[in-house]
Amino acid sequence: MDTPEAIAGAVAFHSWPQDLAQTVLISLLQDHLPHSNPLYNRILAPQNTPSRHCLFAATFPPSTSPNPSSTPTILFADRSRHTEAQIWLFNPLTALSSLSTTQSDTLNAHAKAAIAFLRDTPVPAAPGWPFLPLLKFGCIPTHLADAITSVARPFDAVKHDTNWTHFNIPLAGPHASPLPEGFKIAPVPREQLRLVIATSGIPREAETLQGLPSVAILDDDGEMVAWAFVDVDGSLATLFVVAEQRGKGLAKAVAGALMGKLGRGEFRGISGGRSGAVDGDDGLLPFGQGSGWVHSEVKEGNSRSENVVGGLGGKRCGMSRYVFIASDLIL
């Protein structure tokens, strides 16, 4: 698909074909795991079907042998997901604890170019085109989130900005936790997805949830009392225990069961069902199955969830943000 390049100063974002993004860009992101895990998995997600016309882009042109700068930014967007996060970014500078003025200026230029690229690139064949001007950035590391908001704030274009504690969890290692008597581990029943959607603090779509690795805990009556999913970006997400069953260790049990299944390769079949880079047999698997890492974003101040993730071997790795930008307000 021919699309215009969005230029901010000397920075240009270039569209990449999906097959090249899922090989060449993935190999570059692999060098920065686990920090790049969200974008790594989002690019490989089986939900990226051709009919969705997702955008894959970077601050260097597509090539089988690219020669990017030492601080490139890689971008993925599925703008047709109107109620969910749409855009993921990664730049190696985000792994640093602090930035120099020059490094901050670099990220600001990349953020400005990314907003322009997303706003000005037409995708008329995508579902829901024309898109709303609201750009929904998900799981953005603090340095990049600061750059995005610094570009948008002078125009009063920051419409949502939340802080989350970011954990990285290795798939290697024991994750099992004992399950109390009277409960059993099972797949999430499709007919009970409405409960997952109703209790989620982040908008979820049933179509997306059905294609994600998941585990539930059922009581003796077959009712779902706890559940956990691995999201499209390889995050431990939608972990929930119904109020009347809390305090029994079910959160750690359901999350541990899910991590164990991922680590044993029991979700290898969720790989898109199509030929190409993500075919389930070449190691380039989504949801952390290929990277060896799952990450978790815990709402700032939620100490109970932090303890659950820590019990799975998760290590605190700074903060991430969800930022929504009204791109039509930015000149």
What's the burial of 176, exposed, middle or buried (CB within 10 Å: 0-12/13-18/19+)?
exposed
Q: Which two tokens stand for residue 223?
A: 């009712």
Tell whether 110 is covered by a domain. yes
Tell whether 177 is covered by a domain. no
CA separation, residue 8 to residues 72, 74, 107, 305, 309 (Å): 14, 15, 11, 40, 39
From CA 228, how far away is CA 249, in angstroms rounded? 14
Instruction: Specify whether the backbone of 258 is left (phi greater than 0), alpha (psi in -120 to 50) or beta.
Output: alpha
Question: Which tens digits make up the pLDDT trace of 290-327?
Answer: 899 999 999 888 888 899 999 999 999 999 999 999 99
Q: Confirm if 267 and 213 have CB atoms less than 8 A apart.
A: yes
From CA 324, how far away is CA 306, in angstroms rounded? 25
Tell whether 178 is covered by a domain. no
Q: Which two tokens stand for residue 194?
A: 């409405």
Whether 161 and 20 map to the same domain: the answer is yes
Q: What is the mean pLDDT of residues 105-116?
A: 97
Q: What residues make up the domain containing 153?
A: 6-167+319-329
Q: Confirm if 208 and 233 have CB atoms less than 8 A apart.
A: no
Q: Which two tokens stand for residue 331?
A: 């000149």
Question: Which tens digits make up the pLDDT trace of 211-244?
Answer: 999 999 999 999 999 999 999 999 998 899 999 9
Q: Confirm if 315 and 168 have CB atoms less than 8 A apart.
A: yes
Whether 141 and 215 map to the same domain: the answer is no
Contacts of 307 (CB under 8 A, 6+ apart): none
Tell whether 145 is covered by a domain. yes
Indicate whether 274 pLDDT > 90: no
Q: Residue 283: its pLDDT value, please?
A: 59
Indicate whether 271 pLDDT > 90: no
Whether 154 and 201 map to the same domain: the answer is no
Tell whether 237 is covered by a domain. yes
CATH code for the domain of 243: 3.40.630.30
Q: Where are the beta strands (DSSP E) in the chain?
A: 6-8, 11-15, 55-58, 74-77, 87-90, 134-141, 158-170, 183-186, 214-219, 224-230, 236-241, 293-299, 315-326
Whether 324 and 301 map to the same domain: the answer is no
Sequential DSSP letters for 214-273: EEEEEETTS-EEEEEEE-TTSBEEEEEE-GGGTTSSHHHHHHHHHHHHHHTTTTTT-S-S
Q: Which two tokens stand for residue 78?
A: 């599925």
Whether 227 and 302 map to the same domain: the answer is yes
Whether 299 and 323 map to the same domain: the answer is no
Question: Which tens digits make up the pLDDT trace of 158-167?
Answer: 999 999 999 9
**Largest Cα–Cα separation, the chain:** 63
Q: Radius of gyration (Cα) for the chain, nearest Å? A: 20
| Residue 52 per-residue DSSP state | G
Whether 198 and 134 map to the same domain: the answer is no
Tell whether 276 is covered by a domain. yes
**Total number of domains in the chain:** 2
From CA 224, how far away is CA 189, in angstroms rounded? 8
Indicate whether 9 pLDDT > 70: no
From CA 58, how far away is CA 228, in angstroms rounded? 32
Q: Residue 285: its pLDDT value, please?
A: 86
Q: Residue 208: its pLDDT value, please?
A: 87
